[in-house]
Structure 1
Amino acid sequence: MASRIIIAILAGQNPASQRCVGRRVDPFPDGLFVEIDSRNVIHKFLVRDDRFAAPLYDVIIRSMGSGGVFVDIGANFGYFSLVASARAPTDRVLAIEANPAYASKLAEHAARNSCTNIEIFEVACWDEDGTLDLFVAGIHNPGKTSLSSSNAYSADLVRVLACPLDSIVERSGVDRVDLVKLDVEGAELHVLKGMQRTIDRYRPRVIVEVEDILLTQFAATPGHIHDFFARHGYRSETLSATDILFVPIG
């Protein structure tokens, strides 16, 4: 696989207090510490409203344990990867983040929390190998970083390596995949097409962000997502207004 892979097998200490202008290190669930930027809308929601990510959090903690594998596509600064790691330290977490700045921040968070079972892949998941333009959103909402300039509301871009998830899974040497979280700001269908072997072989549960307006920029619709999973023998459960859990039938 022609991609740069950062494998975060790191150790560190949880600091009780570290502060700088606009940022602080806050405790999260499970005793985790992450750097919070007061300008970042996602960080604000996570700190002020513990219900913001509750549906995804619940699925993750129910799915992990007994040597399982969690794949976090669009891992951002690592919140869900860290939760999975803390809840199931004997499991493996494959955290995939194309934005170099956020992959680096994720590695810092893994080190800060001694999450030695997180492997970080700085690459964009796609349906084929290649390179892509990643449009990086501003600090106020970096979660909007996207392979579509319209979805990111940004003219800033970085060129990133891309490959199918199937390649990452096969080269990582795992013998199971229990849960996948997929949040890539509209490019979900392309990513799904690149993980069909993983779906058919391991039958993981898959959480997908499904937003009509974001999918449109990639000539896709929510119907395409549902049809994809139906063809692979999955049913759907609604977690929130934009998050759907797809579960294998039988």
Structure 2
Amino acid sequence: MDAIGLHSINPWEVAFLREEVGGYFAAGIELAPGATVLDVGANVGVFSAAVFERLDGDVRIFAFEPLPPLFATLDRNAREFFGGRLTALPFGLAAAPDELDFSYFPGATIFSSSWRNEGTVEAERRRVTASVVEMIRGGGLGPALRRIPAPVLRGLVGRKLRVLRQLETHRVAVRPLSPVLDEHGIDRIDLLKVDVEGAELDVLRGLDDRHWPLVRQAVVEVEGWQRNRDAVREVFAARGFTVDARQDAVQRAADIGMVFATR
């Protein structure tokens, strides 16, 4: 177990994800006790844990994780840490029901995705290395690492991320969100959080027009920022949200950014 009580596959990932969590609560994103939160791309539940702690457990969370090794840990955390407030769902979200091949990286599970494969893994390793180095040099992950010279730091991070060369392929189920809302009687979504490593638009396209009024706020991590930012932003703008698209230096190095949508 790590310091906040969660079981994890790679403890270093929990620290990395905890570093990211604060970035989701920006641009006017707020939650009040009694909220209903959807954690799409939950991994082992770090974002869900942050929400649970922020609201002192007065929250209902639905967490989606399609990869079996990650879901097993998420489900264990749901039972042991969340006091019945988190429902772990063993599938991903998409525009239509399907089965997809996901690349799973046991040594770096946070980069697992249906959009990555053996042909793209080296480019991904370089991109992620640049992002992690920028995060460390900005003070993330502690002051000690910040003092390491940049060339040495790049080498260290790059070697650490050689684990991305070790991948497994899992065939997993994906479903559109709207039928899931019906099945679970979800009649409001105070925050829709989406972090799905490149499949953001597919997730949003699975929400029927009849359900969009249920969404009060959303925050989406967008991969391929220049290519996909405007399309994600337009999904929300067309439905009456106030939209704020942001990218900091760490995200720029990784070619990602955040889209915040509020009513």
Q: TM-score, normalised by structure 2?
A: 0.70
Shift of the 52–127 alpha-carbon distance from structure 1 to 2, 3 Å rule, reads closer
Residue 231 of structure 1: CA displacement?
Answer: 1.1
CA contact (8 A) 1:130 1:163 kept: yes
Deviations 1:91-126 (A, max 9, x none): 311001111111110121222224311111101100
Distance in 1, matches of 2:110 and 2:195, equals 9
> Structure 2: which 5+ residue stretches go unaligned?
122-163, 249-256
Q: 1:239 to 1:93 in 2, by over 3 A?
A: farther
Unpaired runs of 5+ residues, structure 1, are 1-24
Higher relative contact order (CA 8 A, sep 6+): 2
Aligned residues: 209
Partner amino acid, structure 2, of 1:110: A
Q: Does 1:34 align with 2:6?
A: yes
> Helix, strand or coil: the match of 2:2?
strand
User: Post-superposition shift, 1:184?
Assistant: 0.5
63, 76, 79: which is aligned to 2:46? 79
Question: Contact between 1:183 and 1:209, CA under 8 Å: does it hold in 2?
Answer: yes
Identify if the C-alpha distance between structure 1 residues 114 and 235 changes in structure 2 by more than 3 Å, giving closer, same or farther.
closer
Larger gyration radius, structure 1 or structure 2: 2
Give the deviation of 1:163 after TM superposition. Answer: 0.7
Write 1 or 2 for the structure with the bigger share of helix: 2
**Letter of the aligned partner of 1:171 in structure 2?**
E
What is aligned with 1:6? Answer: none
Please tell me whether the aligned partners of residues 64 and 84 of structure 1 are also in contact (alpha carbons under 8 angstroms).
Answer: no
Cα distance in 2, alignment partners of residues 193 and 114 from structure 1 = 30
Instruction: Give the structure 2 partner of residue 212 of structure 1.
Output: 224
Q: Give the match for residue 173 of structure 1.
A: 185
Mapped partners of 1:236, 1:158: distance in 2: 35
Corresponding residue for 1:231?
238
Provide the rounded CA distance (Å) in 2 between the counterparts of 1:198 and 1:91. 24
Deviation (angstroms), 1:223: 1.4
| Shift in alpha-carbon separation, 1:36–1:149, aligned structure 2, 3 A | closer
Amino acid at match of 1:104: A
Q: Does 1:145 align with 2:112?
A: yes
> Are 1:186 and 2:207 an aligned pair?
no
Please identify runs of 4+ aligned residues in structure 1 that moved more than 3 A. Answer: 57-62, 150-155, 196-199, 238-241
Contact 1:235 1:246 in 2 (8 A): yes
Relative to 1, partners in 2 of residues 1:41 and 1:116: Cα closer, same or farther, differing over 3 Å? same
* Structure 1 range deviating more: 67-76 or 197-206: 197-206
Query: How far apart are 1:61 and its partner, in Å?
Result: 8.9
Q: 1:235 to 1:60 in 2, by over 3 A?
A: closer
Aligned residue type for 2:229: P
Percent of residue pairs bearing the same amino acid type: 23
Q: Does the 8 Å CA contact 2:177/2:206 hold for their aligned counterparts?
A: yes
Q: Describe how 1:1-250 pairs up with structure 2 within 5 A.
A: 25-28=1-4, 33-36=5-8, 41-46=12-17, 51-56=19-24, 62-65=30-33, 67-86=34-53, 87-139=55-107, 141-150=108-117, 155-197=167-209, 200-212=212-224, 221-238=228-245, 241=248, 242-248=257-263
